[in-house]
Amino acid sequence: MHRYDKLLKCYCICIAVTFGALLLFPLIGMRNEERSLVENRSLAMRPDLPESFGGLVDFRDELEAYFSDQFGYRQLALSLFSKLHFNLGVSVNRNTIVGKDGWLFNGIDHPEDPLGDFLRDNLFSEDQLDLWRQNIERKESYLQTKDIPYVFFIVPNKSAIYGENMPSRFRPIASISRAEQLIDYLQTNTSASAYYLKDVLLAAKNSEFELYSRPGTHWNSYGAAVGQNFLSDRLTEAFTSLRPKRYSSEDFEMRSAYLDIDLARMMGADGRYEQMSPELKVPLPKGREEKLNINRYGPNKMFFFSRIHFDNPDGLKGLVFRDSFFDHLVPYMSQYFSELTLVWAMPDVELVKQVLFDFDADVVIEQRIERFLWHVPPR
């Protein structure tokens, strides 16, 4: 064999081995992770083998989804790809919008349409507003028969408070947002205690502390303190013996603390933000959490169900229907409550009845983030 033929053979072998290694490379790093932090979504898990021939078709589809989501180093590649685009000031993830001065916002393809909330192009129809009215009135009427006060309040999206940091290409097209439309309608057509905290938070904006996390979705401890000031005023209207503490920026300091960076993580830019946040100089107790049965009232009724016990034996008992924004409010509630039953759900009157049958409450609070208003109550 000539020397040239040997070199050619070695070259072909190297090509074949390299090609085979590239094919096997994704399999080496195969994972079985439940959730992608970069994409902020659940991933397809490794499917079980089918028990019969009839299950082969479903197994094939599940296996394809599993390989698509879990092949080796996929998350690393997505993270590097996102970082490159973030450095260029572009969002590779349509669920995230890159704003000005490092501000990130929920994006274009977000299922709850927070961009539509900012643009004000997703207002409710009259029928939808009436469904909201019926839902709120039924709960309020039932709770009045039990002599239990009811407070419904909406926490604004971050873009409603820091809209000046949205990209210039996005501009509202209407005079009011969906949340403002709903609260105006409820206050005009019902006697319910229904509120939107936008004006309260706008009035508290200052140059010393921000109210929301720049790289995340949620408000911070300072923003929640402003919210609790408003909520405590509503509670004292019903319970005059309460002596709430009102918080101001003087009660806070910047220090190393957990920082909500969920949007930055989807952009692969979580390392760009310093883990500093406005925190109370004198921390409040978080209470003792007791996890409760998630399926207590049937499947898909709620995502999270717990009870918080505070060292406040003379405090009220509260029932709170909420989302993740209430997490920052929990420590402030230690001043008013001995225990809080927290239900992550968008309740109808039947769910309120079921929970109150099992758990005593002096007051029922329903908190909703603005972008979740797209879940219009059913008839």
Q: Give residue limits of the domains in the chain.
A: 3-76, 96-374
- Please give the structure tokens belonging to residue 17: 């081995």
Q: What is the pLDDT of residue 71?
A: 63
Q: Which of 270, 267, 305 is nearest to 83 (CA)?
A: 267
Q: What is the pLDDT of residue 37?
A: 57
- Number of separate helices (H) and strands (E) present in the chain: 12, 13
**Average pLDDT estimate for 102-127:** 90
pLDDT tens string 88-102: 555 556 678 889 988
Q: What is the pLDDT of residue 27?
A: 62
When the pLDDT of each residue in the chain is averaged and rounded to a whole number, the result is 85
- Please give the structure tokens belonging to residue 342: 């927290």
Q: What is the pLDDT of residue 60?
A: 75
Q: Contact at 8 Å (CB) between 93 and 81? A: no
| d(C-alpha 114, C-alpha 155), whole Å | 13
**Average pLDDT estimate for 127-152:** 97
Question: How many beta carbons lie within 10 A of that of residue 75, not counting itself?
Answer: 20
| d(C-alpha 107, C-alpha 90), whole Å | 12
The winner for highest mean pLDDT among 44-48, 142-146, 265-269 is: 142-146
Q: What is the pLDDT of residue 40?
A: 58
| d(C-alpha 347, C-alpha 366), whole Å | 9
**Average pLDDT estimate for 280-305:** 76
pLDDT at 23 over 90: no
pLDDT tens string 52-90: 776 666 777 776 776 666 666 666 666 665 555 555 555
Q: Which of 164, 167, 265 is nearest to 210 (CA)?
A: 164
The stretches of 71-125 forming alpha helices (DSSP H) are 74-87, 114-119
Weakest mean pLDDT among 59-73, 317-331, 338-352, 353-367: 59-73
Higher per-residue pLDDT: 6 or 210 = 210
Residue 149 CB contacts under 8 Å (≥ 6 apart), including other chains: 143, 193, 238, 362, 363, 364
Q: What is the pLDDT of residue 198?
A: 97
pTM of the model: 0.79
pLDDT tens string 222-261: 999 999 999 999 999 999 988 888 999 999 999 887 778 7
Q: Which of 158, 169, 189 is nearest to 369 (CA)?
A: 158
**Average pLDDT estimate for 180-200:** 96
